[in-house]
């Protein structure tokens, strides 16, 4: 049994990494933080990761940016974790 959606609380370094890796694996992530500004920063960092990771590691396939970003819901509403 695999996960289809995972909630991640906190858009700091670990939360960004978790959401990014979940999305790369095709799993939906709900990234929650109390600050909208932090979520915007997280989205920018994830976009940078998508752009540069295939250059750093040959083991990570190049995945279309939209496919990854669309797997992550960036929100300040903790009620989005109810699923």
| Domain architecture of the chain: domains with CATH | 7-76 (3.40.50.720)
| pLDDT of 1 | 56
Q: Which residues of the chain have pLDDT under 50?
A: none
Give, as one character, the DSSP assignment of residue 32: E
Give, as one character, the DSSP assignment of residue 79: G
| pLDDT of 24 | 86
| pLDDT of 11 | 97
Q: What is the DSSP string of 15-66?
A: HHHHHHHHHHTT-EEEEE-S-HHHHHHHHHHHHHHHHHHHHH-TTSPP--HH
pTM of the predicted structure, to 2 decimals: 0.85
3-state secondary structure (DSSP) of residue 59: coil
| pLDDT of 48 | 87
Instruction: Catalogue the E-assigned strands of the chain.
Output: 5-9, 28-32, 72-75
């Amino acid at each position: 049994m695999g996960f289809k959606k995972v909630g991640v609380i906190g858009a700091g370094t670990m939360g960004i990494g978790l959401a990014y890796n979940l999305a790369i694996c095709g799993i939906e992530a709900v990234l929650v933080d109390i600050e909208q500004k932090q979520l915007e920063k997280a989205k920018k960092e994830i976009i940078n990761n998508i752009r540069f990771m295939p250059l750093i590691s040959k083991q990570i396939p190049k995945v279309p940016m939209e496919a990854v970003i669309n797997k992550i819901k960036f929100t300040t509403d903790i009620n989005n974790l109810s699923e």
